[in-house]
């Protein structure tokens, strides 16, 4: 047997997911150790090894691949605990990092302080040089300037240098020479070039990506290298892979070339998990939601394609790297309900987090949270939380909601708790609207995949409100990102800038560029251990109407680039523009900016058993008890049967209202909804919405 392993470090827990050849899952949640994240990784691995009856060495020797989602880069940025950075800029453009894109996000708040720059102005040094939009050298690089900058940066004890010159995307010659000189002058200081990190148009975003990469480089390098060493010593025979924001994974080498690519990589693994578990119901159109303690992450997958965004930011800085587009709002189990100065009920974005946590934790958090409301309404069993590892106090929940919400609003306790749930559901429905309706996509025919500890409590209601027919609650829900890592392909993204217009396309130039990118992709995937037969290539281009600002990512066919290739691209651009924005203008010329190649190193995954292959049987054998719970449509509290997930038979079916309690989550089956289990901890919830309704309107 070999195991695929995913290890995801979260704010509260470090999740370990282990999957064998048959898809059998073992999970463990270890408390995260923020100061030394590798400890939780090591302890977690020991725990799963012992669950499998092995020692760590014997276990690791049979692991392939080992995929890790690291938060070191994110934490370094958020806590601003990086090295002293220098930034080399084009003369006249020393303040690109400070001036940003001129936008102040909270205009009506004059007391808002600007976030500090990652490189203070005196360490941003310019050199005389200039390249134009066509890649021509307008002014040659002044090498004396570079040496003077090197001397100044040495005097200031700079530990890492970012180089971001104008138009390096069109011609990197000056950046390359700057690096050579800096390496001569400052041999022990790492130098990162914007033309390596993000060879794309837009100096602010490119500079930001390069500076953030430089800021996290040393910390990422030291953490990833030592983890790699520890794993090798402990018995891992393959090289560990690191989860990337692009939804794939990559070797430590590749990661360190673009260190910022590990930002937000945890949530980026969820769609891969959804695509895998979606096979159980043969779904390729799905909306994944991940509701944890503090946030609610949504991603819409259409026809198996995971959407990508170039607008991912951390600490108000864009990372620039195209990544999995996950929309996130501050709505989780720990989100606090409060009454604002005008007497309106609000939920979040403040969260009680893991500490002090919801009032029910009894850790001193007196604020009522969504979890407290779920307890008061009977949805969450106080004794079954986290498999009984944490005792909850319903009295504290009641007290918090009564004093902070019910009394001020003149409601009774239950109305107040139901109101909290209704409002947080509304916020989540709106968030799902952002990724669907706002993009011209009707969510109703989609499968809703409920992840996260709190997802299954709310998913049935969200689906009903959105008129979504089916909800899949996978057994992997509680550790969805770690599981996603075990089924993620290795993915390397490459981009090159070449501006051309559909009326006069530069077919030769584009062909040459794409070939070069593909050669790099094949070489670097070979380094990561993927021979040609296990590599899949894809091409894309950023396209827009001439003069338009925002681009759409359009697929490009493989092989020879000719007029027909462009005709196809233009056609599919019009189509996707029409789908996404509701209009297209077929007579207008289309321009192309960045040409992209993605190389996948394909990971073998297990077959999934499908729900429709299961016999339908009664679920009564899994019925354990009943608890009183509130349902609006039943006019208040009633006694609701409770089932055990562990004992749920394959094909077991029931009709709501009901609860299914599992170790890391509780499934709420609302009145008249149907639930089927697969006997392995996954459930399919049917809301009773007619498929006809889903097609109409």
Give CA 480 to chain center in angstroms: 11
Q: How many C-beta atoms lie closer than 10 Å to residue 456's C-beta?
A: 29
- Show contacts with another protein in window 423-482 (CB under 8 A): 423, 426-427, 430, 433-434, 437-438
Q: Which is nearer to another protein, 392 or 466 (CB)?
A: 466
Binding mask 655-694 for another protein (x = CB under 8 A): ----------------------------------------
Q: Which is nearer to another protein, 546 or 567 (CB)?
A: 546
Q: Which is nearer to another protein, 169 or 268 (CB)?
A: 169
Q: Which is nearer to another protein, 3 or 379 (CB)?
A: 379
Residues 294, 333: Cα–Cα separation, whole Å: 7
Residues 270, 488: Cα–Cα separation, whole Å: 10
Q: Which is nearer to another protein, 35 or 583 (CB)?
A: 583
Asked whether position 47 contacts another protein by CB under 8 A, the answer is no
Q: Which is nearer to another protein, 433 or 509 (CB)?
A: 433
> Among 173, 315, 345, 694, which residue sits at the site for another protein (rule: CB under 8 A)?
345
Q: Which is nearer to another protein, 208 or 254 (CB)?
A: 208
Q: Which is nearer to another protein, 93 or 230 (CB)?
A: 93
Shortest CB 236 distance to another protein, Å? 44
CB 477 within 8 A of CB 450: yes
Shortest CB 57 distance to another protein, Å? 51
Please name the residues in contact with 21: beta carbons below 8 A apart, sequence gap of 6 or more. Answer: 1, 2, 606
Binding mask 147-186 for another protein (x = CB under 8 A): -----x--xx---------xx-x-----------------
Asked whether position 696 contacts another protein by CB under 8 A, the answer is no
Shortest CB 147 distance to another protein, Å? 17
Asked whether position 532 contacts another protein by CB under 8 A, the answer is no
Taking CB under 8 A as the binding criterion, the range among 271-279, 415-423, 515-523, 662-670 that sits at the site for another protein is 415-423
- Show contacts with another protein in window 499-518 (CB under 8 A): 499
Q: Which is nearer to another protein, 415 or 538 (CB)?
A: 415
Q: Which is nearer to another protein, 278 or 419 (CB)?
A: 419
Shortest CB 654 distance to another protein, Å? 30
Give CA 164 to chain center in angstroms: 27
Asked whether position 343 contacts another protein by CB under 8 A, the answer is yes
- Show contacts with another protein in window 352-411 (CB under 8 A): 408-411
**CA 274 to each of CA 109, 268, 271: distance values in angstroms, whole numbers, following the listed order:** 40, 11, 5
Strand order in the sheet with 683-686: 327-329, 296-301, 286-291, 447-451, 470-473, 683-686, 674-678, 650-655, 617-618
Shortest CB 171 distance to another protein, Å? 12
Element (H, E) at 539: strand 535-545
Residues 41, 44: Cα–Cα separation, whole Å: 5
CB 265 within 8 A of CB 244: yes
Shortest CB 406 distance to another protein, Å? 10
Residues 639, 160: Cα–Cα separation, whole Å: 63
> Among 175, 203, 290, 325, which residue sits at the site for another protein (rule: CB under 8 A)?
203
Residues 490, 127: Cα–Cα separation, whole Å: 38
673: nearest Cα among 477, 459, 374: 459
Taking CB under 8 A as the binding criterion, the range among 17-25, 301-309, 419-427, 448-456 that sits at the site for another protein is 419-427
Q: Which is nearer to another protein, 12 or 427 (CB)?
A: 427
Asked whether position 616 contacts another protein by CB under 8 A, the answer is no
3-state helix vs strand vs coil in the chain, percent to 5: 35, 25, 35
Could you say which DSSP state residue 243 is in? E
Q: Which is nearer to another protein, 166 or 658 (CB)?
A: 166
Shortest CB 431 distance to another protein, Å? 9
CB 252 within 8 A of CB 244: no
Residues 349, 215: Cα–Cα separation, whole Å: 28
Tokens 């989540």 belong to: 428
Shortest CB 77 distance to another protein, Å? 21
Asked whether position 204 contacts another protein by CB under 8 A, the answer is yes
- Show contacts with another protein in window 536-575 (CB under 8 A): 545-550
Residues 335, 607: Cα–Cα separation, whole Å: 38
Q: Which is nearer to another protein, 107 or 616 (CB)?
A: 107
Tell me the three state secondary structure of residue 18.
Answer: strand
Cis peptide upstream of residue 614 (ω within 30 degrees of 0): no
> Among 202, 445, 511, 649, which residue sits at the site for another protein (rule: CB under 8 A)?
202
Angle between helices 413-435 and 394-401 (to 10 degrees): 80
Number of chain positions touching another protein (CB under 8 A): 76
> Among 344, 567, 626, 646, which residue sits at the site for another protein (rule: CB under 8 A)?
344
Phi, psi of 463, rounded to the nearest 5 degrees: -60, -45
Q: Which is nearer to another protein, 410 or 635 (CB)?
A: 410
- Show contacts with another protein in window 76-135 (CB under 8 A): 92-96, 98-104, 106-114, 120-122, 130, 132-133
Q: How many C-beta atoms lie closer than 10 Å to residue 91's C-beta?
A: 16
- Show contacts with another protein in window 574-593 (CB under 8 A): 580-583, 585, 588
323: nearest Cα among 391, 248, 272, 393: 248
Binding mask 302-341 for another protein (x = CB under 8 A): -------------------------------------xxx
Shortest CB 92 distance to another protein, Å? 4
Please name the residues in contact with 184: beta carbons below 8 A apart, sequence gap of 6 or more. Answer: none
Q: Which is nearer to another protein, 117 or 647 (CB)?
A: 117
Q: Which is nearer to another protein, 24 or 550 (CB)?
A: 550
Angle between helices 173-185 and 143-155 (to 10 degrees): 50
Shortest CB 17 distance to another protein, Å? 34
Shortest CB 484 distance to another protein, Å? 27
Please name the residues in contact with 262: beta carbons below 8 A apart, sequence gap of 6 or more. Answer: 69, 70, 72, 73, 74, 216, 220, 242, 243, 244, 245, 255
């Amino acid at each position: 047997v070999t195991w695929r392993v995913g290890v995801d470090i979260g704010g509260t827990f470090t999740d370990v997911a282990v999957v064998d050849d048959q898809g059998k899952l073992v999970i463990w949640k270890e408390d995260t150790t923020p100061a030394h994240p590798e400890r939780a990784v090591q302890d977690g691995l020991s725990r799963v090894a012992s669950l499998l009856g092995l020692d760590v060495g014997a276990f690791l020797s049979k692991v392939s691949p080992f995929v890790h989602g690291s938060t070191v880069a994110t934490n370094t940025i958020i806590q601003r605990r990086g090295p002293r950075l220098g930034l080399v800029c084009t003369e006249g453009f020393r303040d690109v990092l400070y001036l940003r894109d001129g936008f102040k996000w909270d205009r009506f708040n004059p007391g808002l302080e600007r976030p500090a720059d990652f490189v203070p102005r005196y360490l941003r040094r310019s050199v005389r040089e200039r390249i134009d939009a066509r890649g021509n050298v307008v002014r040659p690089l002044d090498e004396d300037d570079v040496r003077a900058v090197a001397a100044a940066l040495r005097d200031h004890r700079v530990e890492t240098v970012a180089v971001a010159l104008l138009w390096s995307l069109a011609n990197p010659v000056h950046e390359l020479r700057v690096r050579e000189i800096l390496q001569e002058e400052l041999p022990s200081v790492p130098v990162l070039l914007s033309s390596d990190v993000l060879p794309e148009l837009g100096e602010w975003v490119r500079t930001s990506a390069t500076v953030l990469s430089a800021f996290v480089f040393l910390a990422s390098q030291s953490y990833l290298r030592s983890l790699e060493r520890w794993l090798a010593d402990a018995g891992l025979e393959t090289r560990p892979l690191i989860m990337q924001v692009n939804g794939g994974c990559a070797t430590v080498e590749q990661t360190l070339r673009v260190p910022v690519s590990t930002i937000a990589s945890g949530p980026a693994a969820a769609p891969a998990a959804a695509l895998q578990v979606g096979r159980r119901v043969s779904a390729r159109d799905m909306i994944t939601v991940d509701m944890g303690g503090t946030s609610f992450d949504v991603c819409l997958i259409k026809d198996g394609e995971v959407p990508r965004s170039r607008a991912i930011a951390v600490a108000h800085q864009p990372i620039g790297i195209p990544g999995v587009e996950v929309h996130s709002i501050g709505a989780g189990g720990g989100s606090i309900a409060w009454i604002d100065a005008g007497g309106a009920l609000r939920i979040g974005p403040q969260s009680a987090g893991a500490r002090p946590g919801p009032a029910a934790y009894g850790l001193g958090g007196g604020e009522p949270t969504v979890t407290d409301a779920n307890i008061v309404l009977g949805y969450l069993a106080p004794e079954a939380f986290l498999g009984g590892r944490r005792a909850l106090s319903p009295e504290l929940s009641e007290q918090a909601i009564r004093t902070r919400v019910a009394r001020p609003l003149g409601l009774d306790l239950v109305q107040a708790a139901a109101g909290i749930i209704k409002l947080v559901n509304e916020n989540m429905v709106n968030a799902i609207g952002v990724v669907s309706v706002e993009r011209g996509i009707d969510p109703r025919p989609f499968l809703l995949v409920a992840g996260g500890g709190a997802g299954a409590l709310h998913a049935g209601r969200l689906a009903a409100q959105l008129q979504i027919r089916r909800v899949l609650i996978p057994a992997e829900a509680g550790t969805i990102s770690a599981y996603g890592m075990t089924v993620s392909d290795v993915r390397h993204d490459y981009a090159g800038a070449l501006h051309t217009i559909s009326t006069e396309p530069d077919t030769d130039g584009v062909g040459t560029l794409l070939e070069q990118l593909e050669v790099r992709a094949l070489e670097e995937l070979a380094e990561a251990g993927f021979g040609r037969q296990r590599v899949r290539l894809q091409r894309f281009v950023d396209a827009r109407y001439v003069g338009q600002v925002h681009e759409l990512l359009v697929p490009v066919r493989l092989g020879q680039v000719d007029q027909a290739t462009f005709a196809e691209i233009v056609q599919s651009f019009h189509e996707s523009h029409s789908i996404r924005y509701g209009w297209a203008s077929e007579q207008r010329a289309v321009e192309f900016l960045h040409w992209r190649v993605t190389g996948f190193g394909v990971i073998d995954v297990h077959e999934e058993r499908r729900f429709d292959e299961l016999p339908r049987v009664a679920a009564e054998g899994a019925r354990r008890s009943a608890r009183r719970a509130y349902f609006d449509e039943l006019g208040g509290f009633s006694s609701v049967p409770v089932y055990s997930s562990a004992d749920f038979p394959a094909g077991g079916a029931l009709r709501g209202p009901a609860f299914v309690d599992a170790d890391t989550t509780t499934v709420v089956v609302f009145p008249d909804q149907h639930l089927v289990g697969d006997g392995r901890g996954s459930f399919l919830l049917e809301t009773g919405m007619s498929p006809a309704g889903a097609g109409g309107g």
